[in-house]
Structure 1
Amino acid sequence: MRQRTVVVLIYSLFAFLCLPYGLAVAQTKPQSVAESPTSSFVLKNGDRVVFLGNSLFENDFQYGYLELALTTRWPDRDVTYRNLGWTGDNVFGVARGSITNPPTPYELLMEHLTKAKPTVVFLAYGGIEAQEGEAGLPAFKEGLTKLLDKIDQLGAKAILLSPIPILSADSAESLTKRNAMLERYAATIAKTATERSTPYIDIFKPIQEINRKGALTENGIHLNETGYYYLTTILEKGLGLPPRTEPVAITVSKATVEAAAPAKMLDSAANSASLKFTIHERYLPLPLPIEEFGRTIPGQIVKISGLKKGFYRLTADNSEVITASAKQWEEGVEIRQGPSFEQVHEVRQMILKKNELFFFQYRPMNTTYILGMRAHEQGRHVKGLEEQSILIKWLEGQIAVNRTPVSRVYQLTLLK
């Protein structure tokens, strides 16, 4: 085990040292990010965000969307993220049990939560408990209350999420029945949030509505990459966060070229054959799913009117982004690739690697032999688990220096 841990550390370190140089060092000094005037949700320096719940959170280990979204929203602040999601879990931590007892599953849940030292806890339960029907509601309410009491004792702020709906089933009758019960549990969560003045975000109805336009899951229950993309945008909206991008509008006339914020012209002379400008990007873009089905949330839209007929290529820092006709530029072109997307892709990969290391650190496959009742046999490997914190911390540092948008020079050129 010790040898394997060292190999993983060396391999991961080597992989990251091979990242493109521009993403291996700090690029610019982070600028302060203004908060949305309508949002009361703010992450501060030193905050520790924990995602606690069932498979809704655990499965995001594959995609990293939730952490990436919050990380890039406050690029000037050092915030720690820990995903404690556990497939099949409920408010009593039942899925966390092992043949080692004590600790009991509930004690292990409390241990995981306490050790994470959270200041903000996103709580997602109810999906498993809803299988107990109406009879399970009182116990669920009791367990949820105890869990919220614990979060209060730790001095953290809880944000409650509803369960997500079942998106497909063996029959329409089964689908309707199961979702009706999930809504009953969601209502209990919402009522508890109101009673305790705790933030609550309904993700049930938005996910159900979006799914009518395409598939968000692979099995009707667990979200796929597209599903997590949309879940992330729903959470951002539920937290009151502003849109990630503002549309860019540039007008070319006979005498001048004018741009509205967030764009700024670098050459105001009227020359529709070549335009140079910058875009003030407050946040890195949220990377698009590999497979989409007609997104309802647009990316960065660039509109350029007054161009002569023809096709124009847009580059960013001399890297090609997209080519479109003058008519298309006038209608508005969505930017979906380029250096900013490459940068956020690298940040996302760092998050995924960091979370993978943490996953096997806090719940190693041979827990009983390392941490449990047979620790007398292999308990020496605890040190190997602890050593992974070094690389986790290093990755968090790399994320910190690469999560800030970089000022880029865009150029639109008429193709001959």
Structure 2
Amino acid sequence: MTMNKKHLYKKVSCLIGLSEKPTVKNVFRQVTLAALAFFLFASLQSLSLSKSLKPAYKVTLPTGKVHRTIKKVHEKPDYTTKIFKAGDRVLFAGNSITHGGRYHQYIWLYYMTRFPNMRLTIINGGIGGDIISNINNRLEEDIFTKNPNIINLTFGMNDSGYFQYMSANPQKVADDLVFKCDSAFKLVVTKLKDHPDIKKILMAGSPYDVSTTVIKNNVFTPKPATFERIVQLQKKVAKANNWPFIDIYDPMDSLNKLHQKEDPNFTLSGSNDRIHPESYGHLVWTYYYLRSQGLKGLEVADFTVDAVRKKALASSNCAISNINGSTNAISFDYLAHSLPFPIDETKHNGDKQPASAALKYVPFTNDLNQEMLRVKKLSGKTYELKIDGKAMGRFAATELANGINMALITNTPQYLQAMNILKLNEERGQTERETRDYAVQVYNFARPNGIKNDQDPASWTKMRELKKTNGWINNDLYERGSNPATQKAWQEKMDRLTDEIYVSNKPQKHKVELVKVN
């Protein structure tokens, strides 16, 4: 039962006595009753809105698999001043989590699919084992030389220590670690300020998970508190310099603690060592990063078609044309301006779960991956959805009227197109990780031992000698990577794959059909 708003206003006006003589006593009474009336009105509006929200819908795919999802109401995206722009060269500087991880790769994948005409470059600037002093040592040679106009800097995992806490005075250890980190960080900040043309972003990365019981070793109880002190240093510097600060640490730490209440083995931080997130942890990281850029609610596409009038009532980030047919069978052409975000289902490098597991822990689909189709006033009960003549699934007419998220249907031609982009980006990322493996040899072993010319055969000889007492040195990789021809081949392969991505990522026009089943 609903109440006419004009009638409700009259009732409220009468209740609070708007027509009474404005004495002090009456004014006080009117203000008090107005507050109560406003609360009543807001409650009625909230009740009305909650009744209008649609329940979960069910889709039966051709495979027989059933998807259930809910289309949530989104806030208006606020991203225009926060996102990367065409031509940007965005470098992520960090440790092994950046070096071998995929969060930056997934962030770029989002941009490749959501903004297919806005070409940019995202660069892996991570090196395994790095602390902030190591990053300081390689800033000029390894980071600035890549000509980024945006640098995302993250550190803290290694800076907050490990076995050092086994000493007799762990608090002194923590204080010393924070002091050393702060001292080196100040040097980095000074160097960054010397490049005013570069935008600086400080990012608190994924946490060390001391609580998970999925593994029994590698437990350093004081470490999280030290790490959090380093995060506070990052926040302080970001605020002092008016640099953006992106917090991945706190939300991932909160998710760990939340899910460990039911499953003590749960962790987003790495089931093998409490440190290195698996691919699903990197997709959670991606979710929070994109949210920080104001991208929540920015749809892949969203449109509504009236089957009776054969008219597109609304369309966002897409074009609907050539609407034909009837309420029993209707067809139209659909050209989106973006592709859905493809979810990585591959287990990489010993992952126990693929990236898709992240969808259980963060609302990635509802917030960042909506490709909404609505067709209203269909006459039947159930319809088969076809795209380019191929069956995609069956839906109730009521579900189609409320809206279905095509990004959940993984056999649509647009989703398969996006999956091809994912595969190309993975190949590009694997090549880039090889360049970072080589960088480990240079900056963790060659430079600290006084080797400055990596192409000099004498440097190779010295590295072979060092190998005798350091099993982490890879002489073959160091010598091969020092060859300019190898470096050129790496770069050319990455450039070729990126070129292919930005040719292949352009959305295509598709014919959409809805055919009555019953």
Residues matched between the structures, number: 370
Alpha-carbon contact 1:254-1:270 (below 8 Å) kept: no
CA shift in 2, pair 1:400/1:253, >3 Å: closer
CA distance in 2, matches of 1:384, 1:59: 20
1:243 corresponds in structure 2 to: 297
Query: Which structure is richer in relative contact order (CA contacts within 8 A, separation 6 or more)?
Result: 1
Matched, 1:283 2:338: yes
> Sequence identity, in percent?
18
Does residue 66 of the first structure (1) align with residue 72 of the second (2)?
no
Task: Compute the displacement of 1:183 (Å).
Answer: 2.5
What is the aligned-residue RMSD (CA, Å)? 3.5
Amino acid of the structure 1 residue aligned with 2:343: L
Give the superposition deviation at 1:216. Answer: 3.2
Match of 1:224 in 2: 278
2:194 corresponding residue in structure 1: 153
1:62: Cα distance to partner?
9.0
Contact 2:323 2:332 in 1 (8 A): no
Q: Which residue of 2 aligns with 1:353?
A: 427
Q: Which segment drifts farther, 270-279 or 188-197?
A: 270-279
1:415 is displaced (CA, Å) by 3.0
Q: Secondary structure at the match of 2:297?
A: coil
Q: Which moved more, 1:180-189 or 1:376-385?
A: 376-385
Q: Does 1:113 align with 2:143?
A: yes
Distance in structure 1 (CA, Å) of the matches to 2:309 and 2:302: 20
Are 2:118 and 1:77 equivalent residues in the alignment?
yes
* Aligned CA distance change for structure 1 residues 308 and 400 (closer, same or farther; 3 Å): same
Q: Does the CA-based 8 Å contact 1:57-1:84 persist in structure 2?
A: yes
Q: Is the 8 A contact 1:121 1:158 kept in 2?
A: yes
1:179 maps onto 2:224 in alignment: yes
| Cα shift at 1:279 | 5.0
Q: Report the alpha carbon displacement of residue 306 of structure 1 after superposing the two structures with TM.
A: 3.3
Whole-Å Cα distance in 1 between the matches of residues 288 and 334 of structure 2?
25
Of 103, 113, 131, the match for 1:90? 131
- When structure 1 is superposed on structure 2, of 147-156 and 337-346 the one drifting more is 147-156
Q: C-alpha separation between the residues in 2 aligned to 1:244 and 1:332? A: 16
1:397 and 2:397 equivalent? Answer: no
What's the TM-score, normalizing by structure 1? 0.75
Please list every run of 5 or more consecutive structure 2 residues that lacks an aligned counterpart in the other structure.
1-76, 162-172, 260-265, 346-355, 447-452, 462-478
- Determine the structure 2 residue equivalent to 1:169: 211
Candidates 322, 326, 342, aligned match of 2:416: 342
Output aligned runs, 1:132-151, within 5 Å.
Answer: 133-151=174-192
Counterpart residue number, 2:57: none
Q: Which runs of 5+ in 1 are unaligned?
A: 1-35, 95-105
Question: 8 Å contact 2:269–2:277 — kept in the other structure?
Answer: yes
Q: Is the 8 A contact 1:54 1:90 kept in 2?
A: yes
What SS does structure 2 have at the residue aligned with 1:384? helix
Q: In the TM superposition, what is the alpha-carbon distance from 1:68 to its structure 2 partner?
A: 1.5
Match of 1:234 among 263, 268, 288: 288
Alignment-derived partner of residue 333 in structure 1: 404
Change (3 A) 1:372 1:38: same
Q: CA deviation at 1:149?
A: 2.9
Measured after TM superposition, the shift of residue 375 of structure 1 is: 4.5
Tell me how far apart the structure 2 counterparts of residues 384 and 255 of structure 1 sit (CA, whole Å): 62
Q: CA deviation at 1:389?
A: 2.4
- Residue matched to 1:14: none
Q: Aligned-pair distance for 1:126?
A: 1.3
Larger CA deviation: 390-399 vs 302-311: 302-311
Partner of 1:101: none
Q: Label 1:296 to 1:168 Cα distance change in 2 as closer, same or farther (>3 A).
A: farther
Tell me which structure has the larger Cα radius of gyration: 2
SS class of match (1:302):
strand
